[in-house]
A = this chain, B = another copy of it.
């Protein structure tokens, strides 16, 4: 019996494993995640994940890195779409895209920021998160060049922008908002909060 043939029909195994991590976390929570369950979902022996990712931390780091790459992709798309409208609106777009990604892939988003479970030395992970971060920095730089930053410190604005989007996404995912905020549509909330921030910090229009 050829297992290789079966898995060739299925698809790239490491890729399928990463996909299964999301499923597993969605069903049983991040703290219950196990190599064996992930392997089971893909229909592969429980030793397979370690074969490709070295160990559990390695697998989760690959998953987190993929998350940062996806986040960067989503943000880039959004930036392309709002290229013409200036830095301030581009910043609002990033906020919206950030929250949209987090809410669409809460399991991945969660793992991306749980360093206790990751291999902190993974260069794949660092590169991926750097790429995402640099998109924010570039946009703030654009704001500065357009003069909408006033005398504010660039890094501080970047940090505030990241914080507000990250906080909104985290609070939503943790379930703290649904029963506290009447308008419980996260897309709308993300738009409103991003716009509030940009209007207030960078000046209206």
Contacts and interface: CB of A to CB of B under 8 A. Distances in A.
Given A167-B167, A168-B167, A170-B167, A152 B114 contact: no
Interface residues of A, number: 42
B167 A31 contact: no
A129 B164 CA distance: 20
Interface stretch (A70-78, A85-93, A172-180): A172-180
A161 to B, nearest CB: 9
Contacts of A30: 31, 116
A29 to B, nearest CB: 3
Contacts of A115: 174-175
7 contacts: A113-B176, A120-B175, A155-B181, A155-B183, A156-B193, A163-B166, A164-B167
